[in-house]
Homo-oligomer: A and B are copies of this chain.
């Protein structure tokens, strides 16, 4: 008989040009997602996306990169499965739509578009030290808090 594996899917969104502490936080989120047995979904490129994917792979997790272009080889090296959409920035909606939970770190317009899309789609959106100014975002201060309240 076929073995079914409906995975919990957790999207991580955040800036491409992130500072060191944000990247460290992203890597911790990636580890936590893998430890939880969930699949990490992200935009597949650099910055927060790459740090989170690296964290997930360090814990043996599975990672999916939903790219804005058609170039599979442009995914960061920690992406297992690549969805090269070619959709341009509209791919942000797919990253948001593919998470059962969306974890948002600090970022700029692209990240805000993903947070907005996720809220529009009725997703649970957790802002990790970020985005508390947007109504509907659940703010947490640490990965420990994220795990405690949202990954249980």
Contact = CB atoms under 8 A, between A and B. Distances in A.
A84 B88 CA distance: 11
Given A4-B78, A80-B6, A133-B133, A85 B60 contact: no
Interface of A: 1-7, 9, 39, 54, 57-58, 60, 62, 64, 66, 69-70, 72, 77-90, 92-94, 97-98, 100, 108-110, 112-113, 116-117, 119-121, 133-134, 136
Given A9-B82, A64-B83, A113-B120, 6 more contacts: A2-B57, A2-B78, A3-B60, A62-B81, A70-B88, A86-B97
B78 A81 contact: no
Nearest to A69: B88
